[in-house]
Amino acid sequence: MTRVLGIDLGGTGLRRGVVAVDGSVEDLRSVRHGGFSHPMEAVERIAAVVDEATAKHGPFDAVGLGVAAWVERGTGFVTRAPNLGWIDVPFGELLRRRLKMPVAVHNDLKAIAWGEYRFGAGAGASTLLVVFVGTGVGAAVVADGQLLLGGRGFGGEIGHVQVGPADGPTCGCGRRGCLEAYVGGHAMSRRAQELSLQGRISTLPEEADRREWTVSDLEDLSRRGDSEALALLEHGGTLLGRAIGSLVTFLNPDFVLMGGGVWDSSEYLRDAMRAALDGASHPDLRKSVHLAESALGTKAGVAGAADLARQILERPIG
């Protein structure tokens, strides 16, 4: 039986777990890494994680990795990873050379979607759409048992779908009006800070000098009656719901699975999203969608990445 280690590499931390064929994750561990000054540092860190897991569990046949990045299909080449500060890094090749075993590198949302499809809330779906709202906004689609990769592997970048006007807020990608520039955690934090400086939003009394606003702060303020904080959450949720509603009409998914730190932190945002989704989807298609929450939680990315790596052991692909 093949033994595969699954790793979920984010902008500030990584998770790893030993994943069985049935998707069960043993010895799930989270480690903060705080970023890397060079991609080779990340490669060495991952090698140390694999060594440590090998010492404890025995040798692995492959490593599956999900990373918060734009990952080229087949090669694991990372063209951009804003949260890690990388551009054009042959990450898959560097890892394969260092670890001397098969390594499958995928975008983190694709690994999560695959994990939920194979072992979680999306099991049995004919078409599964997964959308995560965190610092950024990402999505992935599994249709007819296949992960939708897109021509180069970048399919699913819903965060950069244009939902605002040409003079809308600037996105991390440099363009204006992207969905992520309205509902991503980073964008909402920045907007809350601007409003606070203008005196248009209440300041949290106990944290008057804080630099980073969180979506939980905005949720708290909204509960206390701050209309600007509420408007920010509801506007973000509405644009999110409209974007997902368009995808529901276009793709006819039977499951839409939502998750992510921002999504989990704000009931106002979730309510606004659901209301907008109802209005933006074609009624016949909306009826057939089951709106679900992640079943595997933090294990999804690890389980999915490992399963995708197991596939290359069983059926080598180019």
Residues that bind Zn ion (CB under 5 A): 160, 171, 173, 178
Q: Which is nearer to Zn ion, 33 or 235 (CB)?
A: 235
Beta-carbon contacts of 148 under 8 Å, excluding residues fewer than 6 positions away, are 140, 141, 142, 155, 156
Report the distance separating Cα 306 and Cα 5, nearest Å.
6
Minimum distance of Zn ion from residue 243's CB (angstroms): 12
Minimum distance of Zn ion from residue 150's CB (angstroms): 16
What are φ and ψ of residue 315, in 5° steps? Answer: -145, 85
Q: Count other C-beta atoms under 10 Å from residue 56's C-beta.
A: 9
Minimum distance of Zn ion from residue 136's CB (angstroms): 9
Closest CA to 45 of 28, 33, 57, 29: 33
Minimum distance of Zn ion from residue 11's CB (angstroms): 16
Minimum distance of Zn ion from residue 168's CB (angstroms): 10
Q: Count other C-beta atoms under 10 Å from residue 272's C-beta.
A: 22
Q: Which is nearer to Zn ion, 183 or 256 (CB)?
A: 183
Report the run of H or E that residue 282 belongs to, with start and end: none
Q: Which is nearer to Zn ion, 187 or 215 (CB)?
A: 187
Q: Which is nearer to Zn ion, 172 or 304 (CB)?
A: 172
Q: Which is nearer to Zn ion, 90 or 164 (CB)?
A: 164
Report the distance separating Cα 110 and Cα 237, nearest Å.
22
| Contact call for residues 132 and 259 (beta carbons, < 8 A) | yes
Q: Which is nearer to Zn ion, 28 or 173 (CB)?
A: 173
Task: Give the 3-state secondary structure of residue 195.
Answer: helix
Q: Distances from the Cα of 144 to the Cαs of 51, 104, 118, 124, 294, in angstroms?
A: 37, 21, 12, 10, 20
CA dihedral sign, ordered 129, 29, 105, 61 = negative
Minimum distance of Zn ion from residue 261's CB (angstroms): 19
Minimum distance of Zn ion from residue 174's CB (angstroms): 7
Q: Which is nearer to Zn ion, 178 or 221 (CB)?
A: 178
Q: Where do we find the tokens 């409209």?
A: 242
